[in-house]
């Protein structure tokens, strides 16, 4: 008998909320985006990341990065990430022995490029 009363109340609440579903989804999406932005700012301040300087459209396409570190490593930790500088203009072939850091450099370059083009802080100086 109590379960039936609860079921009736929940069905009524569900019907009322169904008309507000688009607004609720938009509010939840906004909250998630805002939380992501807050976390990004807090992380870039903690790790000392920088805001990028982007070139002009059609201005050559070269990529120059100073003090680039892997985004998953904290450069302030002793024995942690070693900052790297990089200048790319054209096609590049990256070679080296196993465990030399080729994949780390590529992931870091991709993170810097993606974050920078999105207008976010990058793991570099």
At residue 82, the pLDDT reads 80
Identify the H or E element spanning 87: strand 84-88
At residue 2, the pLDDT reads 87
Residues of the chain with pLDDT under 50: none
At residue 46, the pLDDT reads 86
What pTM was estimated for this model as a whole?
0.68
At residue 32, the pLDDT reads 96
* Cα separation, 102 vs 86, whole angstroms: 13
At residue 58, the pLDDT reads 65
């Amino acid at each position: 008998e109590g379960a039936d009363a609860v079921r009736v109340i929940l069905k009524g609440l569900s019907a009322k909320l169904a008309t507000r579903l688009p607004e609720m989804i938009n509010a939840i999406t906004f909250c998630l985006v805002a939380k992501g932005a807050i976390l990004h700012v807090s992380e870039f301040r903690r790790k000392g990341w920088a805001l990028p300087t982007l070139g002009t459209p059609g201005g050559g396409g070269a990529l120059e990065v100073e003090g680039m570190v892997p985004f998953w490593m904290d450069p302030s930790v002793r024995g942690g990430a070693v900052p790297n500088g990089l200048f790319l203009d054209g096609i590049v072939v990256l070679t080296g022995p196993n465990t030399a850091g080729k994949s780390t450099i590529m992931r870091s370059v991709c993170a810097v490029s993606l974050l920078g083009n999105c207008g976010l802080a990058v793991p570099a100086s």
